[in-house]
Structure 1
């Protein structure tokens, strides 16, 4: 507002510095967007690295008889990291709506670093017995708690920086950071499997990504140090409520938004966690391909998502969030079952990589408008809390435990195509949320 008023005054006086002032504003905003999205990506690198090394972690910390039994233990532990997400979303979201977005995001970075440190230095089951898996579970809970607060605070801040015609595009940038972090994690895994022997990888090499994540915490805090606090720009009461008041307000006044948001999140999160995070394990354990093949598929999925996410956001700005979400949900429902049938009939990289690229493309056009619609549902004084609750509940149940549910479905049915059934079911249910949601593409956020 100050920049636009100053520009108008200078233009009225016949001066020329309007363009430099506008440029300065754009540069300032670009720096802020970079700080928000990069910080979010750093946290996702720490959290998602676990999925790419799930097989090794399972072998070292969760010994079990049989591949399926061990796979169930590992995928359940991956899901445990999501159990704490709703709690983190609720408490850290209320903190962000009371003390500010910046304060909450700084705290989440510090908590993520603590969780990574616990994994880096955790002794194995062979060394300390049952205390070893307990340490891993505790670390995952801490990281899940932190990430539960991060996504709501950072996405809400990003939406509050955007204007009415660009919120979808900005949401796409948030998805870019998350997928680039997943790509970096998968590439790190590929590099380690290429340069290390199996004994070296299992004894210490798998800890390297978590050590990198540990170092990223201070970097993220530094990057975000100069962000403008958008909570101060809201109504006079914003940020003045008590912690409990924020939480009560969300559940008392926004019940419809909570239900709609959780249903909406089901479709995107189930697709993301099956097509990206479960694929390395599925390719290795079910298709009997090499670990590097599974990681290569994850790299392709993350790279495709990172490239098309801004396009998905722009399309939702132009034609509406609900139209994009609904159309691509239906396309995914039609495509995913034959896609899984093909990779099971032809378990090779030539089949796996293009199939995963297609599924990632469709999933991204579902995930981006979904991510943008969530903060648009809630007013500024409770936006972070509201978004965090619905996103984290949806992701925790239908995303974090998606690998576990998919594995259990395979065990019960005897069919390797069961993961596709799970995605189809979640996508169909997600479509039911659309009549409950106002499409705010092109409309004021507040």
Structure 2
């Protein structure tokens, strides 16, 4: 695994804390903008497609537009990462917020099918793809940015705080959706209240962009710029010389997509469909799960710095499998246990912080942004786009289908971590022999 190129070991200082706080806050606001769509998919399906269209087709097309955001991630991520490796992490880090805020605000303002006909779903698709391009640069860029700012022995903590910020954005979305559905009637939500989360998200994005003006470029990139180290196209270097890092990063990202998409994003709707829970009940349970996910993602950073990615990944992966089965079995046999079971499952999803920790260490500084962004976004486009459809098919065959899928993907992740540990031992033995 490549060296991270971090500054020499030293304690965290006030500037580090300020950087981590601003980066995490901005990441939360941007991820809220990207994810709020899924919480109001039901309202959107009725407003942006013909009224005489079958309900199932409205829902399929609505989630198809949601998936389009994932498909746009690789292109946006590669372009932004290219310039992040060439002209600076900070500039792209700030640009990604702007590119997210604009389409989010426009979705909240745009007319519906009743007003402009088929132009409504077309515009929705365009804005959703703009959001996908923006988030494609945000996650990888943010992880690289914070990892390169802190001492090497605090990279896990830095990634954990940033991951907690990103998942905190999901929590904000869940909180907003819970509040909107509690305050407004279904008719009011469909008439106008669905716009509120998008308007709030768009305006908050501009606030996040302003706050990021106070961040400084990473010391690692400043050293690269001083030495003019990066001349060749970063993506060309990644594909030619860092295939192992790409494969490793894509495999661990698959686990992240399964945990987030299935356990956090899809489970509320699945619980409503499978066991008849009300939207408010499932959203409240989802809020508890996402809160503990945010906390445990941050805490896992401390564990990563102390015990390493392999140990944390193996233990966390096993707990994730167990808690997901407990959630889906328990919600059926003991419906009153939904909230605590979902909260525990959300806590174990905190193992996803292993993913950025592994990725930022998988590529050298000159191509780190591009390597992380390409691997992460390509994997998310493939697995994040396919997962909702595949899980929906599995549910039709077995109510435990979502848990089976998560278990299968986590087993692949566990095998990957064991392979990583073995390759490290081989390299260490070779170095010792030399």
Same fold by TM (over 0.5)?
A: yes
TM-fit CA distance, 1:252: 0.7
Tell me how far apart the structure 2 counterparts of residues 232 and 125 of structure 1 sit (CA, whole Å). Answer: 49
CA contact (8 A) 2:326 2:341 kept: no
Structure 1 residues 248 and 331: CA distance shift in structure 2, 3 A: same
- Larger deviation: 417-426 or 148-157? 417-426
Tell me how far apart the structure 2 counterparts of residues 424 and 75 of structure 1 sit (CA, whole Å). Answer: 24
Q: Give SS of 1:368's match.
A: helix
Counterparts of residues 114-133 of structure 1 (less than 5 Å): 114-133=102-121
- Larger deviation: 184-193 or 230-239? 230-239
Q: Which runs of 5+ in 1 are unaligned?
A: 6-21, 441-446
Question: 1:36 pairs with 9, 20, 23, which one?
Answer: 23
Structure 1 equivalent of residue 302 of structure 2:
314
Structure 1 residues 431 and 177: CA distance shift in structure 2, 3 A: same
Tell me how far apart the structure 1 counterparts of residues 424 and 215 of structure 2 sit (CA, whole Å). Answer: 28
Cα deviations by residue, 1:159-217 (Å, 9 ceiling, x for unpaired): 01121221111111012211222222211111111221222111111111111111122
Counterparts of residues 393-412 of structure 1 (less than 5 Å): 393-411=378-396
Question: 1:427 pairs with 405, 410, 430, which one?
Answer: 410
- Larger deviation: 57-66 or 27-36? 57-66
Structure 1 residues 205 and 239: CA distance shift in structure 2, 3 A: farther
Structure 1 residues 419 and 59: CA distance shift in structure 2, 3 A: farther
Q: Which runs of 5+ in 2 are unaligned?
A: 1-6, 426-434
Counterparts of residues 218-367 of structure 1 (less than 5 Å): 218-230=206-218, 231-234=221-224, 236-237=226-227, 240-241=230-231, 245-346=233-334, 348=335, 350-364=336-350, 366-367=351-352
Structure 2 equivalent of residue 55 of structure 1:
42
Tell me how far apart the structure 2 counterparts of residues 238 and 79 of structure 1 sit (CA, whole Å). Answer: 39
CA contact (8 A) 2:324 2:345 kept: yes
CA contact (8 A) 2:76 2:132 kept: yes
TM-fit CA distance, 1:372: 1.2
Alignment partner of 1:189 is 2:189: no
Q: Give SS of 1:416's match.
A: coil
CA contact (8 A) 2:310 2:420 kept: no
Tell me how far apart the structure 2 counterparts of residues 96 and 118 of structure 1 sit (CA, whole Å). Answer: 27
What is the aligned length?
Answer: 413
Tell me how far apart the structure 2 counterparts of residues 200 and 397 of structure 1 sit (CA, whole Å). Answer: 36
Tell me how far apart the structure 1 counterparts of residues 189 and 368 of structure 2 sit (CA, whole Å). Answer: 43
Q: Give SS of 1:289's match.
A: coil
Alignment partner of 1:166 is 2:154: yes
Q: CA RMSD in A?
A: 2.4
Tell me how far apart the structure 2 counterparts of residues 136 and 284 of structure 1 sit (CA, whole Å). Answer: 26
Counterparts of residues 111-150 of structure 1 (less than 5 Å): 111-150=99-138
Tell me how far apart the structure 2 counterparts of residues 252 and 327 of structure 1 sit (CA, whole Å). Answer: 34
Structure 2 equivalent of residue 46 of structure 1:
33
Tell me how far apart the structure 2 counterparts of residues 248 and 282 of structure 1 sit (CA, whole Å). Answer: 42
CA contact (8 A) 1:75 1:401 kept: no
TM-fit CA distance, 1:235: 7.0
Q: TM-score, normalised by structure 2?
A: 0.89
Tell me how far apart the structure 2 counterparts of residues 84 and 113 of structure 1 sit (CA, whole Å). Answer: 16
CA contact (8 A) 2:327 2:338 kept: no
CA contact (8 A) 2:29 2:204 kept: yes
